[in-house]
Amino acid sequence: MDPSEVEFLAEKESISIVPNFTLDQIYLISGDLGPFSPGLPTTVPLWMACSLKQRQKCRIVPPDWMDVEKLSEKKQEELESKFFTQMPSNHYLEVSQLLLQCATDDIPKADEVKTLIKDIWDLRMAKLRSSVEVFVKSDATHAKLNHLTLMEINTVRPFLTAALDHMHALRSNLTSGSRLSQD
Amino acid sequence: MSQTTGHASDNYFSLDDILTTQEKLPCKVEMPIYRLGYLDQSSDDSTLQPGTKLEMPFWLARSLCSRRRHIVSVEMPRAYRESYRQIFKADPNVVDLHKLGPYFYGFGSYLLNFQHSEAADIGNSLVKTFQGRFRKIMDSSQNALNQDTSKLTEKLDESEKKIFVAGQLGLHDFQRWETRQTEKLMTSAMVQKHRKRKRAVLEETS
């Protein structure tokens, strides 16, 4: 899967905006949106929010978790926990990437948020890498990881599947070899 | 034995597999092979005498050494013997697997087909060696961005290189997305090359 496809999925996340125009309810396949009236917050998918923002038709209300204090707490929690912690959004990286790109002015302390998100991402990737290593070194056949987000899985997917294939090939000739010597 | 032939025919058209089975291994002739004396460069005899030692590619040795036919006996190549297995055990990361045979794992797997007494040990050693080298391959493939990777891959066996490339693919895709390069529409590499070729042809004809 390409990261841009993951981003496409993330764009379905809903987000709150404050429009500055008037429009009746609109009917889309994914559901009805609006009505839009100036100053009244309403919920739209992320792709729409970005597009409206780019045309300066709205102000984006950043999600609750996109806040320096909450993110620092999250980072601390991630640092202390041995396992992956539950992230506030399944698409935290993509959402923040998109919002930081098109709506920097609506996010308080955008640069700090950006660094924090990156820190959390790096922490989690390091954790993922060490758990992958433990998994490959132990002769386990399956492992379970909770709270991984799609983007995280996606970046290691090509590597991990190739490595596990190779591992499997080496292991399977081990078992077939012993079977041959038994008969 | 049907398993092994099934395994081989899976890769019938695989170039890697062909190269793997080309690897030579030391053999000892067990019965006279007539009129093939020229295979042994050191003797003028027209017949290969029992006891002659020579190197044969794996695909030939496989058909000459089986339960039904025992025309030659196969010895384990140096890299798979006990002394080397000890080295792999001590520190798999320092070994240059590319030098020991670019298809170290694949060839090793094939060698298990000869009912050799050490086969089980070799199989185990292959798995352990890969497990030991795994972390290094993972880290180097996931962290090397915009730098020459030939230094990192020179000690890797061909199959490890494939895994390395897969890791790089994941990293590069992600980096391209993170730096927002995926948004830009680019000319496909195929089209670019195609135009170049066309231009070259045009220049030649004019």
Task: Please give the Cα distance from B40 to B192 (Å, whole number).
Answer: 52
In degrees and rounded to multiples of 5, residue B191 shows phi and psi of -60, -45
- Tokens read off for A126: 């390091």
Pairing of strands B53-57, B24-29: antiparallel
Cβ contacts of A10 within 8 Å, gap of 6 or more? A46, A91, A94, A95, A98, A150
> CB distance from A183 to chain B under 8 Å?
no
CA distance linking residue B177 with residue A170, whole number of Å: 34
Q: Which residues of B touch A129 (CB under 8 A)?
A: 138-139, 142
Instruction: Report the residue of chain A nearest B1, measured CA to CA.
Output: A180
Helix axes A150-182 and B158-178, enclosed angle (nearest 10): 170
Residues 70-129 on A with a CB inside 8 Å of B are 97, 101, 129
Task: Please name the residues in contact with A22: beta carbons below 8 A apart, sequence gap of 6 or more.
Answer: A35, A36, A37, A38
Distance between CA atoms of residues A44 and A60, nearest Å:
10
ipTM above 0.95, yes or no: no
Residues of chain A contacting residue B153, judged by C-beta atoms under 8 Å apart: none
Inter-chain CB proximity A3 and B174 less than 8 Å: yes
Which residue, chain included where needed, has tokens 């012993």? A178
Helix (H, G, I), strand (E, B) or coil at B67: coil
Q: Phi then psi for B53, rounded to 5 degrees? A: -105, 130
**Residue B82 corresponds to which tokens in the numbers above?**
């006990």
- In Å, how far is B48's CA from the nearest CA of chain A? 31
Rounded CA-CA distance A176/B8 in Å is 14
d(CA B146, CA B152): 13
Q: For residue B136, give the chain A residue with the closest CA.
A: A133
Q: Inspect the interface and report whether the beta carbons of A155 and B169 lie closer than 8 Å.
A: no
**A181 touches B: beta carbon within 8 Å:** yes
| Separation in Å, CA of B114 to nearest CA in chain A | 9
Asked if B134 and A136 come within 8 Å (Cβ–Cβ), the reply is yes
Using the beta-carbon criterion (under 8 Å), do B170 and A158 form an inter-chain contact?
yes
For A132, other C-beta atoms within 10 Å of its C-beta total 20
The vertex-B140 CA angle with B134 and B142, nearest 5°, equals 95
Phi-psi group of A147: left, alpha or beta (phi > 0 → left; psi -120 to 50 → alpha; rest → beta): left
B37 reaches A (C-beta below 8 A): no
pLDDT at A180: 44
CA atoms within 13 A on the CB side of A37: 3
Task: In whole angstroms, give the CA distance from residue A106 to residue A117.
Answer: 17
Partners of residue B144 in chain A, C-beta under 8 Å: none
Q: Which residues of B68-77 are buried (b: 16+ CB within 10 A; e: fewer)?
A: eeebbebebb
3-state secondary structure of B173: helix
CB distance B162 to A164 below 8 Å: no
Interface check A7 vs B, CB under 8 A: yes
Instruction: Give yes or no for a contact between B89 and B128, defined as CB atoms under 8 angstroms apart.
Output: yes
CA dihedral (A52, A55, A58, A60) positive or negative: positive
Write out chain B's pLDDT in tens, 206 residues: 333 444 445 677 888 888 888 888 888 888 888 888 788 777 777 888 888 888 888 888 888 887 777 888 888 888 888 888 888 888 888 888 888 878 888 888 888 877 777 888 888 888 888 888 888 888 888 887 777 778 888 888 888 999 999 988 888 889 888 888 877 788 888 888 887 777 777 777 76
Residues in chain B closer than 8 A to A159 (CB atoms): 138, 141-142, 163, 166-167, 169-170
Structure tokens at B158: 């061909």
Q: Three-class SS of residue B97?
A: coil
Tens digits of pLDDT across chain A (183 residues): 888 899 999 999 999 999 998 999 999 988 888 789 998 999 999 999 999 999 999 999 999 898 899 999 999 999 998 888 888 888 999 999 999 988 888 888 889 999 999 999 999 999 998 888 888 888 777 888 888 899 999 988 999 999 988 888 888 877 764 444 433
**Residue pairs between chains A and B whose CB atoms are closer than 8 Å:** 100
Amino acid letter, B131: Q
pLDDT the model gives residue B10: 62
Q: In this complex, which of B124, B126, B177 lies closest to A4 when CB atoms are compared?
A: B177
Enter the tokens of residue B190. Answer: 């195929």
- Inform me whether the C-beta atom of residue B104 falls under 8 Å from chain A C-beta atoms: no
Q: Tell me the per-residue pLDDT of A118-158, one tens digit each, with 9 for 90 and over.
A: 999 999 999 998 888 888 888 777 888 888 899 999 988 99
Which residues does chain A have within 8 Å of residue B171's beta carbon, measured at their own beta carbons?
A: 155
Residue A72's pLDDT is 93
